[in-house]
A and B are shown apart, each in its own frame.
Chain A
Amino acid sequence: MTERKNPAQKEFNKTLVQKTMALFSSKQPHPIKIKLSNVHKSFGKKVVLDGLDLDIRKGESLVIIGGSGTGKSVTLKSILGLLTPEEGSITVDGVEVVNASTKVHEQVNAQIGMLFQGAALFDSMTVWENVAFGLIQGHKMKKKEAKKIALEKMAQVGLTADVGDLYPADLSGGMKKRVGLARAIATHPEIIFFDEPTTGLDPIMSDVINDLIVDSVKKLGATAVTITHDMTSARKIADRIAMLYKGKIIWIGTVKEIEKTKNPYVVQFINGSAQGPIQMAVKADD
Chain B
Amino acid sequence: MEFISLLGRVFIHFLRASGQLGIFTVKAIYNCFTPPFYFKKIAEQLIEIGFYSLPVVALTTFFAGAVIALQTYTGFARFSAEGAVAMVVLIAVTRELAPVMAGLMVAGRIGAAMAAELGTMRVTEQIDALSTLSTNPFKYLISPRILAGIVMMPVLVLIGDVIGICGGYIIGVYKLDFNASSYLVNTWNFMEPMDVISGLVKASVFGFIITLLGCYNGYNSKGGAQGVGSATTNAVVSASILILIFNYILTEIFFNS
Listed in ascending order, the chain A residues whose CB lies under 8 Å from chain B are 77, 80-82, 102, 105-106, 109-110, 112-114, 116, 118, 120-123, 133-134, 137-139, 183, 187
Contacts and interface: CB of A to CB of B under 8 A. Distances in A.
B131 interface: yes
Contacts of B125: 116, 118, 120
Nearest to B36: A137
Q: What size tier do the contact residues of chain B reach?
A: 10 to 19
B124 A138 contact: no
A109 B128 contact: no
B126 A123 contact: yes
Contacts of A102: 136
Interface in B122-157: 124-126, 128-129, 131-136
A208 B120 CA distance: 32
A138 B133 contact: yes
A137 B134 contact: yes
Given A118-B124, A118-B125, A123-B126, A82 B131 contact: yes
A121 B135 contact: no
A207 B206 CA distance: 55
A120 B134 contact: no
Contacts of B134: 106, 109-110, 134, 137-139, 187
A80 B132 CA distance: 7
B133 A134 contact: yes
A114 B121 CA distance: 16
29 contacts: A77-B128, A80-B128, A80-B131, A80-B132, A81-B131, A82-B131, A102-B136, A105-B131, A106-B134, A106-B136, A109-B132, A116-B125, A116-B128, A116-B129, A118-B125, A120-B124, A120-B125, A120-B126, A120-B128, A122-B121, A122-B126, A122-B129, A133-B135, A134-B134, A137-B134, A138-B133, A138-B135, A183-B133, A187-B133
Nearest to B38: A137
Contacts of B135: 133, 137-138
A109 B131 CA distance: 7
B132 A114 contact: yes
B38 to A, nearest CB: 9
A113 B134 CA distance: 10
A137 B133 contact: yes
Interface in B7-38: none
Contacts of A109: 131-132, 134
Most chain B CB within 10 A, of A114, A120, A139, A187, is at: A120
B225 to A, nearest CB: 14
A120 B131 contact: no
A212 B125 CA distance: 24
A77 B126 CA distance: 13
A114 B133 CA distance: 9
A242 B176 CA distance: 84
Contacts of A138: 133-135
B134 to A, nearest CB: 3
A113 B132 contact: yes
Nearest to B138: A102
A120 B125 CA distance: 5
Contacts of A122: 121, 126, 129
A114 B128 CA distance: 10
A116 B121 CA distance: 13
A44 B122 CA distance: 20
Given A120-B124, A120-B128, 4 more contacts: A102-B136, A109-B131, A110-B134, A183-B133
A187 to B, nearest CB: 8
B129 A120 contact: yes
